[in-house]
Amino acid sequence: MKKIVKIVAIVVAVVLVAAFVAPMLLRGKIAQIVKREANEMFDARVDFEKLDISLLRHFPNASVELKGLTLVGVDRFEGDTIVAARRISVVVNLMSLFGDSGFEVTKVILASPAVHAHKLADGAVSWDVMKPAEAPAEEVPAEESAPSSFRLSVRDFRISDAAIRYEDDSTNMRFSTAPLSLRLRGNMSADRTDLDLRLTAAAMRFVSGGIPLLSDAEAELDAVIAADLKNNRFTFSRNRLRLNAIELTLDGWAEMKDDAVAMDITAGCDKVQFKDVLSLVPA
């Protein structure tokens, strides 16, 4: 009996050591592969400072962490930083890696991301960075193609201290906000689920046609949204929206069809005082 206990203890110790050492040995090689594949996928330069892989930090889940990520434009947007993030963390259920039902991502965290979206006067946009996929040599009939077994499930998505900036030279429109925080929870692999959403945004600025419409405004949204993910239809359930001192409730639905968005949303408010409306007017 003592020998069995000793053998089990040795096996456990070996597994723990392997789980600790293997990511350290493979980290550099994996980082090179990720950078190479990303730069082949995007018409932009992708770089990051460090990649960490841990099998113990969230055991029995595995975690992957990118630090100092940057996505920099090329050609007409040469030198423009489209996306940057201090840290991106992804936690994956280890057992889902060995099944055929898809990867179960339990948590995704974006810490201090910065996004700069720029549209030029001629309609060119900085975020169109995906290289076009190569057409297959021979089209395979839909009935003969095997369905993909890949399915991504995310249950907890968070953004903290984000900075968002949008510029449209064609309409002279500008929008920015910082910091922005977002927490989204729900079973995003199900056909239907309730999405628990909480969003806060500060220092919101909005300029349209050169006229400032918002300056240093604050927004807060706390909502539960009934999501029909199979048909891309979202219906507002319990919710509260605050814009500066004005509090609203939203009712209705939104549905995404191809490249268009159809919606029927109404906003209700119990009472609004003049000073509340005045808080939205830029000085």
CA-based R_g, the chain, Å? 24
**What does the pLDDT look like over 26-57, one tens digit per residue?**
556 667 777 887 788 888 898 988 888 776 66
Whole-structure pTM value: 0.74
Q: So what's the pLDDT on residue 189?
A: 76
Q: Taking residues 244-262, what's their average pLDDT? A: 86
Nearest to 81, CA basis, from 98, 94, 92, 69: 69
- The chain-wide mean pLDDT, for the chain, equals 79
Q: So what's the pLDDT on residue 84?
A: 94
**What percent of the chain clears pLDDT 70, i.e. is strictly above it?**
76
All residues at 6 or more sequence positions from 15 whose CB lies less than 8 Å from its CB, including other chains: none
What is the longest distance spanned by two Cα atoms in the chain?
82
Q: So what's the pLDDT on residue 151?
A: 55
Determine the Cα–Cα distance for residues 40 and 68; give it in Å rounded to an integer.
20
Confidence of residue 63 (pLDDT cuts 50, 70, 90): confident
All residues at 6 or more sequence positions from 31 whose CB lies less than 8 Å from its CB, including other chains: 48, 50, 51
Q: Nearest 5 degrees, angle CA 155-CA 159-CA 164?
A: 140
**What does the pLDDT look like over 120-151, one tens digit per residue?**
999 999 998 888 766 555 554 544 444 444 45
All residues at 6 or more sequence positions from 281 whose CB lies less than 8 Å from its CB, including other chains: none
Q: In one letter, which amino acid is 94?
A: L
**What does the pLDDT look like over 218-236, one tens digit per residue?**
999 999 999 998 889 999 8
